[in-house]
């Protein structure tokens, strides 16, 4: 009889522990679900932004290097190399305590924002010297692409493994489904970013504004993570805010000095960067040339519209005069377009 009350006490104690665990569970699940949803959305958005930058990169370097198999091969290789190293780095960060890992992702996204915006300035500074160095087509394309887009791809590759690990830690009982969701979110984001950049952003905003918009998206995601980390554990927001102000203080003057925030296209269509350049000094008379990306497609001499300037056009005219009866006398041709 003396043992029975002890057994009842033990049973009641066990029930109390179980009830305590049950009472904590709804709050934990709600917090975990909220964090997981945030991490999932950020994973999708970082993947979308990373691929959008890749697509915009092709248009950005086209006025300097053209748009060919070589340029796209270099862009894809450099961006994937950045993603790969970023994922590896993110895997190392994922082992940190959760609050430190979340802040590290915030810093990575802040760095992605800064380096993406800085590419607008860098291309004005490095493209000319690298092209003039005479490395050859492939090395030139690889060097310029690496200087411009490796760093943004590296930093945007960091968040995915870290955010996935944070979501798993938040709900360890749901590890398998969490992995599937995050892989799917990354793939869907990549598709979304590719389609938006190719069909909407460039046609609507142009290259410069698209990269500025993507930089602001990175900045917004970084701010969200810093705020989220600050809510969960009291941490200072001063260092990231100071980093943003310093970046603006450096990028804004250099961007204005190099005209980095102004498109170098007269018109940026869905297909080409179209420029109308003055050739008066080269030809000694008032003349203009239409350039699509980096190739001249039409030259017009104002005082003599029928004048042929491009060597291949002169050769075509000579072939007509040689092979047609009477040297093509009396034959007339009218060309529509050319744009110059």
> 10-residue block means of pLDDT along the chain (340 residues)?
45 39 40 77 97 93 87 95 97 93 94 94 92 91 96 97 94 92 97 94 89 94 87 70 78 69 77 81 81 79 78 78 72 64
CB 294 within 8 A of CB 62: yes
What is the structure's pLDDT at 17?
Answer: 35
Q: How far is CA 18 from CA 22, 23, 122, 171, in A?
A: 6, 9, 61, 19
Q: CA angle, corner 55, sides to 120 and 292, nearest 5? A: 75
pTM over the 0.75 mark: yes
Give which of 273, 290, 274 is closest to 59, Cα–Cα.
273
Ordered structural domains, the chain, with CATH: 17-264 (1.20.1250.20), 273-328 (no CATH)
Tokens describing residue 152 = 């943004």
What is the structure's pLDDT at 31?
Answer: 47
* Alpha helices, H only, 233-273: 238-257
Give which of 79, 287, 302, 65 is closest to 193, Cα–Cα.
79
Neighbour count for residue 171 (Cβ, 10 Å): 16
CB 285 within 8 A of CB 274: no
- The position carrying tokens 């005209």 is 259
Cα separation, 80 vs 161, whole angstroms = 15
Cα separation, 243 vs 199, whole angstroms = 33
Give which of 192, 189, 210 is closest to 119, Cα–Cα.
210
Provide CB contacts within 8 A for 62, sequence distance 6+.
71, 272, 273, 293, 294
Cα separation, 159 vs 162, whole angstroms = 5
Angular region, 334: left φ>0, alpha ψ -120 to 50, beta rest: beta
| DSSP secondary structure, 43-94, as one string | HHHHHHHHHHHHHHHHHHHHHHH-SSHHHHHHHHHHHHHHHHHHHHHHHHHT
Q: How far is CA 325 from CA 61, 319, 329, in A?
A: 47, 12, 8
pLDDT digits (tens, 9 = 90+) for 210-222: 999 999 999 999 9
Strand pairing report for 287-292 and 267-268: unpaired
Give which of 198, 206, 118, 190 is closest to 157, Cα–Cα.
190
What is the structure's pLDDT at 54?
Answer: 94
- The position carrying tokens 């961007």 is 255
CB 105 within 8 A of CB 211: no
Cα separation, 34 vs 71, whole angstroms = 42
Cα separation, 207 vs 53, whole angstroms = 10
What is the structure's pLDDT at 129?
Answer: 94
């Amino acid at each position: 009889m003396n043992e029975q009350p002890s057994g009842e006490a033990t049973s009641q104690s066990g029930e109390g522990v179980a009830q305590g665990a049950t009472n904590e569970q709804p709050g934990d699940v709600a917090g975990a679900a909220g964090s997981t949803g945030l991490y999932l959305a950020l994973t999708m958005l970082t993947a979308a932004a990373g691929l959008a930058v890749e697509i915009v990169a092709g248009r950005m370097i086209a006025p300097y290097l053209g748009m060919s198999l070589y340029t796209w091969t270099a862009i894809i290789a450099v961006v994937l190399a950045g993603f790969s190293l970023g994922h590896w780095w993110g895997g190392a960060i994922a082992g940190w305590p959760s609050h430190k890992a979340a802040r590290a992702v915030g810093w990575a996204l802040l760095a992605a924002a800064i380096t993406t915006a800085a590419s607008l300035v860098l291309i004005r500074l490095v493209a000319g010297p690298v092209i003039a160095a005479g490395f050859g087509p492939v090395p030139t394309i690889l060097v310029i692409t690496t200087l411009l887009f490796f760093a943004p791809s590296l930093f945007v590759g960091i968040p995915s493994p870290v955010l996935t690990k944070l979501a798993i830690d938040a709900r360890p009982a749901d590890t398998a489904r969490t992995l599937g969701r995050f892989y799917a979110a990354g793939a869907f984001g990549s598709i979304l970013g590719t389609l938006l950049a190719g069909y909407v952003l460039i046609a609507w905003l142009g290259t410069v504004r698209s990269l500025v918009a993507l930089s602001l998206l990175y900045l917004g995601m970084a701010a969200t993570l810093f705020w989220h980390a600050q809510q969960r554990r009291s941490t200072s927001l001063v260092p990231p805010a100071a980093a943003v102000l310093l970046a603006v203080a450096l990028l804004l003057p250099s961007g204005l000095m190099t005209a980095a925030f102004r498109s170098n296209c007269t018109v940026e269509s869905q297909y080409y960067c179209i420029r109308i350049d003055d050739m008066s000094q080269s030809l000694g008379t008032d003349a203009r040339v239409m350039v699509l990306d980096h190739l001249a497609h039409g030259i017009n001499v104002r005082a003599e519209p029928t004048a042929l300037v491009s060597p291949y056009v002169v050769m075509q005219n000579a072939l007509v005069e040689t092979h047609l009866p009477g040297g093509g006398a009396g034959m007339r041709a009218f060309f529509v377009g050319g744009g110059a």
